[in-house]
Structure 1
Amino acid sequence: MKVPDTTALPRGPRPSAATVAAVLAAVFVDEPKGVEVVERVTSIYESTFGLEIVTCRFATGTRRVLLKYGAPQHANVSSADHRGGLVREAAVYDSLLDRLPVRTPQLFGSVRLADGRACLVLEYLEGAHRLQHSSDLKAYERAARWLGEFHATAALELRPALWPGRLAGGSTIPTYDLEYYTSWAARTREAQAQLCGQNMWLSELCDRSSDAMAPLVEQPRTLIHGEFYPSNILCHGTDVCPVDWETAAMAPGEIDLAMLTSGWIGSARDNLENAYIAARWPEPACDQVSRLQHVLAAARIYECLRWLGDAHEREFKVRIDVLDVLRVAGRAVGVLA
């Protein structure tokens, strides 16, 4: 997988010093002596969303927070409903993540700027780095274990009897169904007409997308991150701290696992999958591994079609493995010869 090329993605203007001061004052309204902005530095991880590391002086001392700014005119909200923008991300923190015993950066608050953009004020984890910058398989295995535990806990804690099914503010979280999955086949055919013409098997896979992704519909749903790529996972010591929750949805957990293991092959990928299985199902049924592989193949088809069919993803540089992954997965679910 290549590094994202985000130079063409829309971002709003850098907020003024007065705007940042007003945001912090609104979020930390209970601070007895207010908040003083000491320094502002653009984060190296800024992409679709503006990201600023802001050093603040509080009555108790100085610390840094992360300000995350939405794109102008809601350009970050997808018509396919898999990206809900920062408003949905804030609601996911407030309504879902706060209910679960998981480590994620704390959301201190959210504010709507005068130009309509949302702004989140988040905990800044000193010394953390993105998993994508690590070559240590053990770090990836920790992420796989975190993911398995997260999916198991979310499936239990967010079942209908315990969770009303709505996010803060009355909005809803997407629930993936067959119509949603197959929409990506149609988007791929439209966006990649030349590629489909050059690879008839890809056109066939799009034609049979209902069969190809049926295993996902048959699986129990849990809360998923929705883009559980290494670029969205912070390593803070030995803690795993996923960020960027705007794509959270109710769907099979294997989708997140397919994204985490994208680009891995052979025994290394097996190790990640086994770490996930051990964390999610401490005493798995004897056929759990074979079932997982079947569902994972369908999840990889979805992940690749979403990559090919999403206008946002096409801003990324070419993923050289995507056709190979699709073809192998298509054979695994029985829709390609």
Structure 2
Amino acid sequence: MATFSWHLPDTRRLEAGLARAFNTNAKSGLKVLKRELSPYSTTFPCEIVTCRLPGNKKTDVFCKYSAGIEYTGFGHRGGPAYELAVYREVLQPIGVSAPVCYGGQVDPKSGEAWLALEYLPDALGVGKLYRSGAMVEAARWIGRLHRLTEIRRTVPGTGWLKAYTRQYYMGWVRRVLKSSSSLPRRLPWLEAVCSRAGDLLAPLLVQPLSIVHGEYYPHNVLYHRERVYPVDWESAARAAGEIDLASLTENWSAEITRTCIAAYQQERWPEGVPAGFIRRLLAARLYFCFRWLGDYEDWSRCPALPDRLRRLRRLGRELGVL
């Protein structure tokens, strides 16, 4: 995407906003020295901003902007304004490891938003450091979050969070059926799985639910100095925690998947794994098949379409539909 199409704040406005975030005076205390687009891929444009703070101290800040982008993924994503609220009202009160959120701003008229986060130099996605145990640590991290945020131990003041309801799940199923019409021929097995989707996804609605990341893939989970730092929280919601475990372990080897599942179970349920866990995990994997296939109206533009269809068909067999 070309940078000229983005509506980024000019440097003067950015300095003023960062001065408020750092509780200092923009005229005498904070100066933006450099702005460069981040190589980190995300739905919304991001910059690494180098600032000079009072006392001539320099620091790098990771800034994310809504920039006029209105993509919500059919209501799945909430954007930088939503993510700012997740940092402030969910992650910070709980005290889990996450990039420090210095602050941000939402324009009450336009809805344009930005947030400033701690920049973690040399951090890598946990998938690139799996031999160092980063994937297992990510499983433990998300297990702890789910344990701390189960509805019966809910974080106060988070009623604004999105919730994955039956209507939400079935919306993806309907979009998959509609998109499948772009194929040159019908897939009877796909229609069979979709016709049973309501029952197959029902375990994801069983209480207790937790606060989930929503796209807890290894590239969204950074590992820095032997600590886990999940990023990109615009898809956070109230849902079944198994959804995050399913995304973390998608397409990984059986050995790594088993190790991550064991670490997650031990962290989330130290008193013992509840009945139905495997069934919910399979339902979560099924949901992601619908989620990503349903993102494209024209499947000729869907990346990895054959792999996603094969995965969906395999799950249909595992769940006894095919």
Q: Which amino acid aligns with 2:173?
A: A
The equivalent of 2:122 in structure 1 is 127
Which of 12, 16, 26 is 2:10 aligned to?
Answer: 16
Which of 88, 91, 99 is 2:93 aligned to?
Answer: 99
> Is residue 312 of structure 2 the alignment partner of residue 294 of structure 1?
no
**Identity between Structure 1 and Structure 2 (%):** 36
Which of 234, 255, 259 is 1:267 aligned to?
Answer: 255
Which of 28, 31, 55 is 2:22 aligned to?
Answer: 28
Q: Structure 1 regions of 5+ residues with no counterpart?
A: 1-6, 167-171
The equivalent of 2:221 in structure 1 is 233
Structure 2 distance, partners of 1:48, 1:266, is 30
Which of 80, 102, 111 is 1:108 aligned to?
Answer: 102
Shift of 1:207: 1.6
Q: Which amino acid aligns with 1:293?
A: I
- Paired residue secondary structure (1:192): helix
- Paired residue secondary structure (1:136): helix
Which of 261, 267, 270 is 1:282 aligned to?
Answer: 270
Structure 2 distance, partners of 1:15, 1:180, is 34
Question: How far does the alpha carbon of each residue in 1:139-193 deviate from its partner, in whole angstroms, 9 at most, with x for none?
Answer: 111111111111111127842xx62443xxxxx1112121211111001112232
> Is residue 58 of structure 2 the alignment partner of residue 65 of structure 1?
no
The equivalent of 1:306 in structure 2 is 291
- State the TM-score, normalized to the length of structure 1: 0.85
* Correspondences of 1:308-327 after superposition (within 5 Å): 308-311=293-296, 317-318=303-304, 320-327=306-313
What is the aligned length? 318
Question: How far does the alpha carbon of each residue in 1:278-322 deviate from its partner, in whole angstroms, 9 at most, with x for none?
Answer: 11112314xx4x722111111011111000111499877325532
Structure 2 distance, partners of 1:234, 1:196, is 41
Does the C-alpha gap of structure 1 residues 224 and 8 become closer, same or farther in structure 2, counting only changes over 3 Å? farther
Q: What is the aligned-residue RMSD (CA, Å)?
A: 2.8
- Paired residue secondary structure (2:122): coil
The equivalent of 2:83 in structure 1 is 89
Q: Structure 2 regions of 5+ residues with no counterpart?
A: none
Does the C-alpha gap of structure 1 residues 46 and 165 become closer, same or farther in structure 2, counting only changes over 3 Å? closer
- Paired residue secondary structure (1:47): coil
- Which moves more between the two structures, 304-313 or 244-253? 304-313
Shift of 1:198: 4.1
- State the TM-score, normalized to the length of structure 2: 0.89
Does the C-alpha gap of structure 1 residues 174 and 62 become closer, same or farther in structure 2, counting only changes over 3 Å? same
Question: How far does the alpha carbon of each residue in 1:169-222 deviate from its partner, in whole angstroms, 9 at most, with x for none?
Answer: xxx111212121111100111223234944221121112110110111124200
Q: Which amino acid aligns with 1:63?
A: T
Structure 1 distance, partners of 2:219, 2:99, is 15
- Paired residue secondary structure (2:43): coil
Does the C-alpha gap of structure 1 residues 291 and 241 become closer, same or farther in structure 2, counting only changes over 3 Å? same
Does the C-alpha gap of structure 1 residues 200 and 213 become closer, same or farther in structure 2, counting only changes over 3 Å? same
Does the C-alpha gap of structure 1 residues 224 and 9 become closer, same or farther in structure 2, counting only changes over 3 Å? farther
Structure 1 distance, partners of 2:4, 2:264, is 36
Structure 2 distance, partners of 1:258, 1:8, is 33
The equivalent of 1:211 in structure 2 is 199
